Every structure is written in C-alpha cells, then in structure tokens.
Chains A and B, each alone.
Chain A
Amino acid sequence: MAPEAKAHELVVSVSPHVRGKETVGRIMWTVNLSLLPAFIMSVYYFGPLAAYVTGLCVLSSVFFEHVYQVSLKKKTTIGDGSAFLTGLLLGLNLPPTVPFYIPVIGSIVAVVITKLLFGGLGYNIFNPALIGRAFLLISFPKLLTTWSEPTAKFIALDAKTSATPLGILKEEGLNQLIAVFGDKMTLYKELFMGHTAGSLGETSVIALLLGAAILLVRGYITWHIPFSFLGTVAALAWVFGAKDIETGNIIFFAGDPVIHLFSGGLILGAFFMATDYVTCPSIRKGQIIFGIGCGAITMLIRLKGGFPEGVMFAILLMNCFAPLIDRNVKSKMFGEIKEQKK
C-alpha cells in the first residue's frame, strides 16, 4: 500500500453510512416552537402572570432534569428540548393564578418522577406533563380549579374568578352557558379565539390549530390520533350531549359537538399531548384505536364523571394501553398474505 494512503485514518462502522437530518432535538424544539402561538395568546388574555407561571414551569423542568442527571453523573439531556417541552405543556395546562410552588412541584413530579426515574426520555410510560398536572389537581384541588377571567391585568390577584365553559355546562346546562356569552355564535367565536376562562394555553383554539398545522405539515404528527380523538368526541357529544333540563334524561342525537370540541383541553390534548411519541402507540392503526379510546373516556368523564373536563385522565388512561395496543396491532407485512395461503 502506498504510504500516503496510510495517512488517512479510515472510519469503519456499520451501514448505512448516510443518515437523515432528523434528530430528537430538532423534533422537540419544533414542537416547542409550535406552541408559541398558544403561549402568546395566553399572555394576551391572562396577562404577564401567564408568562410567569409558564416560565417557572419551563425553568424548573429544565433545572431539575439537569440537577438530577448531573448528581447521578449522567449526561445531561436538557439540550434535546424534551424537558423544556414538558415544562411548557405543564404551564399551559395550569390556571393563571397559582402560587409559585405549584409550577415547581408539578415540574418535579413531571420530569423527575414520571420521566427520569423510569429511565429518561423513551422509557416513560405516562405523559410527564399530564402526570404533573394530575398530581397537582389531586393534591391541590382548590388551587387547580380556581379560574380567572381572561382579562389581561398586570397583577391578577384581584382578577375575578370565573367558571370555565365546561364547568358552566356541567353545573348549569347549555342554556345558561349560551346566556353567559349572549348568543350561540358569540360563544363559538369566544371559544375559538380563546377568550374564556380555563388553563393558560388550552383556551385559544385558533392558536393551537396554527401550531398543530406546523406539526402536521412537518410530518412530526399524523392525523391518526388527533382526528380519531376529536371525531370520537364530536360523535359522542352529538349522540349523548343533550339533556332534558326538566327530567335530566338524555335527548339522543341533539348534542352540540362544537362546544365540546372547542372547550376545555381537548385541542391542546389531542394535538400536543396524546400524540407524545413515547406514550402513544407507534403503529398508525393502533393510534386510531388510541385516539378513539381517548375520545370515549373524555366524553364519559365530561358527561357522567365528577370532573367537568376529562381530557387529561383520558390520555393518561390510554397511555396504559399503548404498549398493549402496539403488541397486538401489526402493520401489514410485505409478503404476508401469500404465506398464509400456503
């Protein structure tokens, strides 16, 4: 061999020798970016306090992930954007008027207990942000269900409390909900824009859909989960959603799907949380089952359960089934049918 060729240290590794551009970090940061419109709307409606709550969640999530990994002498993974995303989602799922320790505790539960203790990103069974929120809701029920009016104020301490649309719907019925907003079209409009009481980032449907469109176009999420989720909610709302005020009996096929689709955490949940790669099935057919399950449990809780909103518990319950679904739903193998014929 020519000696000059020896000067080259050749790298030897297994094929393929070229790779696509996608990385975990790129995906996670894009999802973070796609939540920017919802974040901006939350500040617009609920004031700087919204930025404070969400910011605190993000900071604590990233901080505790870093501290955990450094203290266990592991490589820190805060650069991959996943802890940032968990914090962001947790913040957008909180009411505006929570004391500082709520975001901090929620972040610890979400990032450290739900994700890192299970082995880190990829090994967690449940959606970290949702476990964080569920923990807070059960531990601090009063704080987590005190909603303020969507009127931007620098200091929201004096903000008037208000019920969420789903809360009014559950306690006082559809007619009262429409009465609060004036007429039905105004109600739809306010829901769509996000000018209602609720968790910080869940109210503005238009902002969330904008972010979801980015993810769909980039191919980071597919239609399977969100559309089957939303479709199931709409169908069940239409069939079972209407109640006779006098008797309390269900009037079939008379419900209002639009109110159910646009209110609560449904849009946020369906596009940004149920689609979490790690905790949803990875085979597309299985994702449809997952979405239908999420929709069914959501409506069961909304219509029959003790809570006005059921998206969070629906997704967490379906997270349990994701591995089971993946094991039992198989994509069609190349050459499979003919083998069976033999």
Chain B
Amino acid sequence: MSKAVTFERGIHPSYNKELASGKAVTAAKLPGRIVIPLSQHIGAPAKAVVNIGDEVKRGQVIGETTGFVSSPVHSSISGKVIAIADFPTTAGRMVQSIVVEGDGRDEAVALKENPDYLNLSVDEIKTLIKDAGIVGMGGAAFPTNVKLSPPKEKTIDAVVINGAECEPYLTADHRLMVEHPKEVVEGLKIIMKSLGVSEGHIGIEENKPDALEAISSVVAGESTIKVWPLEIKYPQGAEKMLIKAVKGREVPSKGLPMDVGVVVQNVGTAIAVYEAVRYGKPLIERVVTITGKGIQEPKNMLVRIGTLMSDVVEQCGGLTGGAVKVIAGGPMMGFAQWTLDVPVVKGTSGILVLSEEEYVASDEYSACIRCGSCIDVCPMGLNPSILSIYAEKGFYEDARDNNLFDCFECGSCAYVCPAKRPMVQFMRLAKSQVKP
C-alpha cells in the first residue's frame, strides 16, 4: 500500500478509539417516541406536511423541502403525530420538531427498488437522493443533492470519500467501512456517476487497518477508484485537509472544495446514497458511536433518527457515576449537551460521555504568552494567538483582516494552548460581531 498522505501542521490528541472500535454495529431498540426536528441540515428548514393526530408510517415524508438548499425529513417509525412544537436540539437551539408516538408495529411505506441503479439518469439519481433526505453525515449536514449539483462553471473531476474519522473516540465510520465496504464503494460509484466524474478516492486514517483492508479488497480491480492511507492526525477529516492530502490541491481561502474540482462525501453519506438509490430508502437511521468512560457500555448502534439520547444511553447501560459531560459528536468539535432529552439527528455521529477522569475544566485561563504553539498547529496557517487577542480586546475588524473567516473551528489551537485560552469561543465571538 502506498505511503500515508497528509496535510501540514495539525495535532495528535489521544484517540481513545479502542473503547468502541471493536464493537460491531447493533440495532437499537425501536423507540417508543421520536422527535424529528424540521431543521437537521444546513439551509432552509423543512415544512411540516402532517398534522397532530395523523397516522404516519416508517419512511413517510413528514416535512418537505422549502428551497433549493433544504432537505425533507421522514418519520423513522410508524405511529401517530402527537405534537408539532419547538424542542431542544443537539446544537443548543430550539427547533420546530414533529413528535411521533410509536404504535410498535413499525410499518413501512412501500419503497421503490432500482436493481439497475447504475443505469439511472443523473437527474433520477439526484431526485432519489434529495427525496431520501440525505445530508452530509459527518456532522455538517449539508444537503447531499446540492453538493452533487455544482454550478455549471465549476468543473468537478474527482470525488473523495472521507473515511478519515479523525475525531477522537468516534468509530461509527470505521465500523461502516469494516462491515459494509461494498456499499461504500457502490455509493461512491453513484456519486461519481451523478457528477460525471471518472476519478474516485477513499481516504482512511492508518489507525483503521481493518477498514483499509476491507475497502481495498472491494476496490481491487477498479481502475477508477483509489484508496489512500492517511496519516493519523487531527483534523485530517476536514474537507480541505483531506483534499490537500489526497489530491495535493488547496481549496482557496473562503472557497469551497468545488473550486478545486473536488466533491467530498462522508462514508456514512456514501452508504446512505447507495441505499437511497438502490432501495429507495430514506435517511431514517444512522450509526452512532456511544462512547467515553462516562458510559457503562460503549457501543456502535444503528439508531432511528429522532430517538432521544436518553433512550440510546439507557441501552448502553446508562451513565456511570462519574459522568460529567455529554457531547453530541466528537470531543474536538462536538456540542456539549445540557440535557439528554435531545434527539439523535442525521448529523449525530456520536454520543460521547466524558467521565471525571477525562474531563478537563476550561473555565480558567490566563493571558496569551505568545508561545506560538497554536501557530504551529493551525491547519489553515492562521495566527490564532493574535486572533484570540483581537477578539478578547474587541478588535473584531482586525481579527477579520487577519483571515478570521478561514477558521473552521477545529479546536487544534485550543487543544495545545498552555494558557488554556478558549480559542474557539474567541473565534466565534469575533465572527458573530463582524461581517466576512
């Protein structure tokens, strides 16, 4: 296998993946009640098309798109709509959500299969993906069909599947690649076809040798698809870093991957695309890593979208006595939760419960001593030190003029900072105060 590729700078946090990496995906229990937020994606929220009291089936559309950059939502169980109201979500905001009380029968709507899926037209593929409500499952939750419809002036020549999973603790993508390598590759082929691209790449961090092996054996003989071992480094799975590693191209400042002719899709998204196009299956469940030393029994579970975190946690034996922090996503970029009464959504890659042992208090920090550690690790080549000082002093325009908006809040600077400064907080503060 070829030598591992990577990007410049970055950090090496403790990965702690062994807590869950060996656990095969198991299906979670059918939830008795689900909460489906109408906005689980970037873009316009979906609009409810059911009313309180309506009977719904699994896979039935309950929220429709309201714009080009939008995504429909489906019921993930069968039952009765009992509420349409604002509920807390993993991102901390209140979002209008549809609550379905399950009837325990788990009846599904009829799905249309397409055994000859690779011969569908591009428009048919995109419609299937859009109707299935597929969004980026790595966490950002950008509607996939939009990503597959770049403006005409952008020429796309490569698709990269993101199997880096560089966030510590998380193993969902890892398990998917080990257990469903064929579906990943088929999903990639569909994405390549829909973009008219003949070059596919799959990047996987070297700490997942079994995933590298599984995927490699599936693509053996495929001349258009290449598997890349990636150096183990955070944030290797950030789109821009992945493209740099695999294609050697740098997405321009303030630009998008399509500006360098590349579309990146997460492993989970590729599988969802395959299932949507091949079986007509909407995105109503996803693999979630439930891990951390604050959880009794770490697991990788196939969870219905809308299942409350508290339900999922219970199926993992509950929290340990020392649990102090619950995070939706990974420890570097995930969101801390104040309640477990939030639903798992399309972008929830993990439920991480940190114990006292792993928890780092971050309420005290001191002045920047200008050691330059953050500059040495910033994957974007920014000067986080000076940006944090500008934000602290309220010089937001100065921060903007020093490329503040190229920061994608990976948290590498905060991770290495010896003064324990809340770097990401400073960046977000400054971003909220000035226009790019």
Task: Give CA–CA (A278, B372) in the complex, Å.
Answer: 10
Chain A neighbourhood of B373, CB < 8 A:
22
Contact partner, B340, options A1, A18, A121, A331, Cβ 8 Å: A1
B314 at the interface (CB under 8 A from A): yes
Question: CB-CB contacts of B306-325 with A at 8 A, as 1s and 0s?
Answer: 00101001100011000111
Pick 20 A–B contacts, CB within 8 A, sort by A.
Answer: A2-B314, A5-B319, A5-B340, A10-B338, A11-B336, A14-B425, A15-B333, A15-B424, A17-B360, A18-B14, A18-B354, A23-B420, A26-B418, A77-B366, A122-B366, A122-B368, A333-B381, A334-B253, A335-B252, A342-B252
Q: Which residues of B contact A (CB under 8 A)?
A: 8, 11, 13-14, 168, 240, 244, 250-255, 260, 308, 310, 313-314, 318-319, 323-327, 331-341, 352, 354, 358-360, 362-363, 366-373, 375-376, 379-383, 385-386, 403, 406, 409, 411, 414-420, 422, 424-425, 428
Task: Give CA–CA (A326, B385) in the complex, Å.
Answer: 11
A305 at the interface (CB under 8 A from B): no
Chain B neighbourhood of A332, CB < 8 A:
381
A154 at the interface (CB under 8 A from B): no
State whether A22 and B367 are in contact (beta carbons under 8 Å apart), knowing that A16-B333, A335-B250 are contacts in the complex.
no
Task: Give CA–CA (A15, B328) in the complex, Å.
Answer: 11
Q: Are the CB atoms of B369 and A122 closer together than 8 Å?
A: yes
Q: Are the CB atoms of A278 and B360 closer together than 8 Å?
A: no
Q: Are the CB atoms of B325 and A17 closer together than 8 Å?
A: yes
A27 at the interface (CB under 8 A from B): yes
Q: Are the CB atoms of A27 and B362 closer together than 8 Å?
A: no
Q: How many residues of A contact B (CB 8 A)?
A: 47
Contact partner, B13, options A20, A283, A336, Cβ 8 Å: A20
Task: Give CA–CA (A25, B308) in the complex, Å.
Answer: 42
A232-261 with Cβ < 8 A to chain B:
none
Task: Give CA–CA (A337, B425) in the complex, Å.
Answer: 29
User: Total A-B pairs in contact (CB under 8 Å)?
Assistant: 179
Minimum CB–CB distance from B360 to chain A (whole Å) comes to: 4
Chain B neighbourhood of A123, CB < 8 A:
367
A328 at the interface (CB under 8 A from B): no
State whether A282 and B324 are in contact (beta carbons under 8 Å apart), knowing that A11-B359, A15-B411 are contacts in the complex.
no
Given contact pairs A1-B340, A8-B319, A17-B325, enumerate 18 new A-B contacts (beta carbons under 8 Å).
A5-B310, A5-B319, A10-B336, A11-B325, A19-B417, A22-B417, A23-B420, A77-B366, A122-B367, A283-B372, A283-B375, A334-B8, A334-B379, A334-B381, A335-B240, A335-B380, A338-B252, A338-B255
> What's the dominant secondary structure at chain B's contact region?
loop
Q: Which residues of A contact B (CB under 8 A)?
A: 1-2, 4-5, 8-20, 22-24, 26-27, 77, 80, 119-123, 277-278, 280, 282-284, 326, 330-339, 342
Contact partner, B424, options A16, A278, A284, A336, Cβ 8 Å: A16
Task: Give CA–CA (A342, B420) in the complex, Å.
Answer: 38
Task: Give CA–CA (A20, B382) in the complex, Å.
Answer: 20
The 6 A-B residue pairs with the shortest CB-CB distance in the complex, in nearest-first order: A122-B367, A16-B411, A282-B372, A22-B418, A277-B371, A338-B252
Minimum CB–CB distance from B395 to chain A (whole Å) comes to: 13
Q: Are the CB atoms of B319 and A335 closer together than 8 Å?
A: no
Chain A neighbourhood of B381, CB < 8 A:
331-334, 336
Q: Are the CB atoms of B367 and A120 closer together than 8 Å?
A: yes
Task: Give CA–CA (A26, B420) in the complex, Å.
Answer: 12
Output the nearest chain B residue to A221 by Cβ-Cβ distance.
Answer: B371
Chain B neighbourhood of A24, CB < 8 A:
366, 369, 418-419
Q: Are the CB atoms of B334 and A19 closer together than 8 Å?
A: no
Contact partner, B327, options A17, A23, A119, Cβ 8 Å: A17
Chain A neighbourhood of B310, CB < 8 A:
1-2, 5
State whether A331 and B415 are in contact (beta carbons under 8 Å apart), knowing that A5-B319, A14-B428, A122-B370 are contacts in the complex.
no
Q: Are the CB atoms of B403 and A17 closer together than 8 Å?
A: no
Q: Are the CB atoms of A17 and B354 closer together than 8 Å?
A: yes
